């Protein structure tokens, strides 16, 4: 991400957002521009043209009825303008802003779904993603404010300049000298502002993480069990605050100097002194200005100056905002590396799955999987077992094509999975991860993970999936059955499920979709051995005509599998049925003996 952008790049970012806004909300943007221009035209007519007209009539001894007619027409125009502005402010603007917020956020969310999971392991990407989500609404707010300032104030400044050029062109000389200096000062000041914001960003993210630890329910229990962590978190929070303060101090003196030079020296002393000196000289010495012309000239110069100052302030904002838009666009323009080679559809029904000499590592030179090879036939139940860190979950991510192998290939239905349309392939596989999440939504929505259609069949299938997963709907806490809200974050009637209950909901998600290939990554780790054994017996019955891959380090889960693959340090070191592996008396047998006491009662 660039700390500063050239003016050409700044214009490009604003043009991008302009096209986006007019595409998503054309009616709102047209009304917005109309009100921006109308406001400045009204101000010019009321405070410049009308004042000059009235004073000129008075100085020339004109008819008072002309003044009354002028004021009457002006008041009628103001009344109409007030009505249209009220409609804009209280109805059009709030609705239009929300439309734009939603449109840009949806583009970011859709991109977040599309890009590779590996991107989230990259610090630079994650900073881009966080900034994109945090700055979306603010970027649009700043853009709309900038548009108002630039367009409206440009109209106001232009109308005052043209009128001043008509009645007293010499007064414009002051503006021609001072404004370029102001623009140069603003450009330098903006570079410092953007640099300061980007230097603060990583520390603000660290501070926000520390802040979340203290208010998210996920951490509440841990903080009570380990109170010393509170002090550690507080220290980290304070340290990040000190770093942010250091950045502010680093740039504060420079920004103060630029502000002093621009706001005080240029705008007040030099510009105001020069204007009054020139106008009084024209009126009192040269005798070329009337009273009406002096007042109007001063009004034109003041309004031109005021509008230009707002425009300059807006240029500060727009340069900073463009840096954020640039980063958001970088995020939106990211291309996934996991793509389909020919968008082939996944065949219907069960198919064979083969993993052929697969190598993979999250970081170069640090392999996690090494030469993994095995095959799964349609309807077969196989298990991947091993101690934590052996590579089981990583292999699952490759099977779901969340990552691509560094070497080797994975085939499904006899075809390399890279040839299938990515999302279609992923949807063809049912999966339960060990780090699944429940959402602040109803129980039904947590099973569906999709938009409800409210049909009777849908409700029946959700309830059946929960029943098959051994989730008890008759629980007294579930007042609304499948419509019961989960978590108490937003609903006072919400229910916080136990770890085992939550895991059953995650399993029900997979059972609801009825895929032919199911991957269970530690599907019952939160259950006691007896409940685990019974659930796995049920799963084997439910999925008797499906291909199932169990991943576990608890061997009671997988003893009935058709084939068991023992993994260690990213390799398959043993394979066979439970009885065959016990007979080999190798690593699997040793692991079985260690765990035997935990589930001997259910074997």
Checking DSSP bridges between strand 353-360 and strand 407-412, what pairing results, if any?
antiparallel
Distance CA 546, CA 381 (A): 8
Task: Please answer whether residues 357 and 407 qualify as being in contact, where contact means their C-beta atoms are separated by less than 8 angstroms.
Answer: yes
The predicted structure's pLDDT at residue 370:
93
Model confidence band, residue 390 (pLDDT cutoffs 50, 70, 90): confident
User: Residues 341-368: pLDDT tens digits?
Assistant: 788 888 888 889 999 999 998 888 888 9
Distance CA 466, CA 504 (A): 7
User: Residues 72-113: pLDDT tens digits?
Assistant: 888 898 888 889 989 999 999 999 999 999 999 998 888 888
pTM of the model: 0.69
DSSP code of 574? E
Task: Please answer whether residues 493 and 485 qualify as being in contact, where contact means their C-beta atoms are separated by less than 8 angstroms.
Answer: yes
The predicted structure's pLDDT at residue 100:
94
Distance CA 563, CA 383 (A): 6
Which residues, 6+ apart, have CB-to-CB distance to 172 below 8 Å? 161, 164, 165, 301
Residue with more model confidence, 15 or 131: 15
CA-based R_g, the chain, Å: 35
- Report the pLDDT averaged over residues 251-260: 83
Model confidence band, residue 603 (pLDDT cutoffs 50, 70, 90): very low
Please check the confidence at residue 164 and state whether its pLDDT lies above 80: yes
Please check the confidence at residue 601 and state whether its pLDDT lies above 50: no
Model confidence band, residue 4 (pLDDT cutoffs 50, 70, 90): low
Percentage of residues in the chain having pLDDT higher than 70: 94
The predicted structure's pLDDT at residue 210:
80
Please check the confidence at residue 407 and state whether its pLDDT lies above 70: yes
Distance CA 203, CA 193 (A): 16
- Report the pLDDT averaged over residues 258-269: 76
The predicted structure's pLDDT at residue 58:
82
CB atoms within 10 A of CB 250: 13
Residue with more model confidence, 551 or 358: 358
The predicted structure's pLDDT at residue 22:
93
Task: Please answer whether residues 162 and 347 qualify as being in contact, where contact means their C-beta atoms are separated by less than 8 angstroms.
Answer: no
User: Residues 216-227: pLDDT tens digits?
Assistant: 776 777 777 777
Distance CA 175, CA 308 (A): 10
- Report the pLDDT averaged over residues 33-58: 85
Range in 184-188, 303-307, 446-450, 510-514 with the lowest mean pLDDT: 184-188
Distance CA 42, CA 47 (A): 8
Distances (CA, A) of 403 to 121, 336, 422, 568: 12, 11, 11, 20
- Report the pLDDT averaged over residues 303-330: 80
Distance CA 230, CA 219 (A): 11
Quote the mean pLDDT of the chain: 83
Please check the confidence at residue 600 and state whether its pLDDT lies above 60: no
Percentage of residues in the chain having pLDDT higher than 90: 16
- Report the pLDDT averaged over residues 419-432: 87
The 10 Å CB-count burial string (b at 16+, else e) for 259-279 is: eebbeeebbeeebeebbeebb
The predicted structure's pLDDT at residue 49:
84
Please check the confidence at residue 451 and state whether its pLDDT lies above 80: no
Please check the confidence at residue 599 and state whether its pLDDT lies above 70: no
User: Residues 466-483: pLDDT tens digits?
Assistant: 888 888 877 767 778 888
The predicted structure's pLDDT at residue 532:
67
Range in 272-281, 354-363, 408-417 with the lowest mean pLDDT: 272-281
- Report the pLDDT averaged over residues 507-532: 77
- Report the pLDDT averaged over residues 235-240: 88
The predicted structure's pLDDT at residue 467:
87
User: Residues 437-449: pLDDT tens digits?
Assistant: 888 888 899 998 8
């Amino acid at each position: 991400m660039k700390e500063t952008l050239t003016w050409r790049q700044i214009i490009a970012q604003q043009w991008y957002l302009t096209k986006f806004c007019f595409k998503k909300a054309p009616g709102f943007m047209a009304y917005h521009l109309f009100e921006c221009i109308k406001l400045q035209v009204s101000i010019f007519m009321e405070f410049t043209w009308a004042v000059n007209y009235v004073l000129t009539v008075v100085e020339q001894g004109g008819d008072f009825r002309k003044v009354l007619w002028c004021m009457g027409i002006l008041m009628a125009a103001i009344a109409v303008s007030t009505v249209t502005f009220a409609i804009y402010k209280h109805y059009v603007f709030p609705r239009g802003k929300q439309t734009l917020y939603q449109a840009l956020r949806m583009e970011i969310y859709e991109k977040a779904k599309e890009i590779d999971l590996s991107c989230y392991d990259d610090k630079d990407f994650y900073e881009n993603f966080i900034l994109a989500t945090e700055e979306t609404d603010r970027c649009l707010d700043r853009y709309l404010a900038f548009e108002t300032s630039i367009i409206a104030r440009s109209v106001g400044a232009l109308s005052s300049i043209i009128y001043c050029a008509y009645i007293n062109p010499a007064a414009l000389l002051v503006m021609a000298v001072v404004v370029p200096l102001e623009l140069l000062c603003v450009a330098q000041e903006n570079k410092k502002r953007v640099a300061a914001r980007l230097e603060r960003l990583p520390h603000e993210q660290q501070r926000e993480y520390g802040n979340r630890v203290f208010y998210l329910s996920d951490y509440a229990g841990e903080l009570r069990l380990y109170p010393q962590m509170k002090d550690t978190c507080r220290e980290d929070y304070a340290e990040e605050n000190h770093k942010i303060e250091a950045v502010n101090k680093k740039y504060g003196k420079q920004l103060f100097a630029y502000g002093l030079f621009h706001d005080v020296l240029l705008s007040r002393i030099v510009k105001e002194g020069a204007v009054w000196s020139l106008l009084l000289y024209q009126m009192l010495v040269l005798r070329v200005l009337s009273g009406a012309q002096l007042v109007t000239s001063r009004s034109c110069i003041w309004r031109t100056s005021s509008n230009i100052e707002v425009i300059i302030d807006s240029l500060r904002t727009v340069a900073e905002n463009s840096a954020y838009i640039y980063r958001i666009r970088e995020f939106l323009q990211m291309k996934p590396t996991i793509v389909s080679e020919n968008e082939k559809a996944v065949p219907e029904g069960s198919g064979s799955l083969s993993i052929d000499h697969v190598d993979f590592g999250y970081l170069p030179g640090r392999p996690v999987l090494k030469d993994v090879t095995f095959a799964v036939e349609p309807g077969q139940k196989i298990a991947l077992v091993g101690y934590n860190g052996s590579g089981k979950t990583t292999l699952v991510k490759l099977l779901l094509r969340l990552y691509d192998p560094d070497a080797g290939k994975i085939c499904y239905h006899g075809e390399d999975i890279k040839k299938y349309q990515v999302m279609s392939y992923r949807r063809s596989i049912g999966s339960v991860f060990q780090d699944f999440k429940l959402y602040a939504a109803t129980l039904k929505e947590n099973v569906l993970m999709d938009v409800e259609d409210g049909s009777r069949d849908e409700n029946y299938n959700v309830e059946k999936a929960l029943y098959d997963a051994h989730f008890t709907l008759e629980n007294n806490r579930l007042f609304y059955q499948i419509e019961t809200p989960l978590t108490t974050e937003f609903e006072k009637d919400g229910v916080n499920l136990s770890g085992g209950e939550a895991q059953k909901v995650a399993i029900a998600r997979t059972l609801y979709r009825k895929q032919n290939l199911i991957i269970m990554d530690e599907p019952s780790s939160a259950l006691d051995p007896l409940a685990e054994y019974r659930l796995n017996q049920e799963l084997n019955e439910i999925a008797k005509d499906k291909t199932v891959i169990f991943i576990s380090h608890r061997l009671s889960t997988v003893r009935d599998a058709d084939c068991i693959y023992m993994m260690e340090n990213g390799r398959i070191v043993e394979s066979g049925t439970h009885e065959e592996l016990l007979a080999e008396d190798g690593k699997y047998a040793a692991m079985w003996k260690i765990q035997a006491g935990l589930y001997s009662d259910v074997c």
